[in-house]
Amino acid sequence: MEKPLLLILCTGNSCRSQMAEGFLKELADDLLTTQSAGMNPAAKVHPLAVKVMEEIGIDISQTSCKHLNLFLDKKIDTVITVCDHADQSCPSLPSAIKRHHFSFPDPAEATGTEAEKLQIFRKIRDDISKLLLAYRTHLTSKKVQQAS
């Protein structure tokens, strides 16, 4: 059976959505096919996003920033937006698609020294992690209920 496609959507697809994609591939690869995309994707994944994910053993260095249009002809089961702009600007999607919005500040806008920026990236990473761990738990309990 084909796993449902979960698309994580952000404006630039360089930080938050890439970190979330990395987490879900690590946490729920048995349940979902996870991809991320942007409304206006950046040229590359932000190096500090790569760095803070490497700190916890998740490699997102080979991922690429993708445009939402690449997925519009796919059977998307769930869309998770991780920034307010993407939530407000997301095109109309079929009503069968489940949609969730979680607002995280853009770590790419962090200012200060590299250490200060890293601290912000780590906080966003940890906040995304907590949310997606709860989401994974929800998916697992739902799958168990459906099997009974």
Residues with a catalytic annotation lie at 10, 83, 90
* Contact present, 2 and 25 (Cβ < 8 Å): no
Helix, strand or coil, per DSSP, at residue 58: coil
Closest to 65 (Cα-Cα) out of 42, 35, 87: 42
Question: C-alpha distances in angstroms, 50 versus 4, 37, 45, 56, 143?
Answer: 26, 16, 7, 10, 31
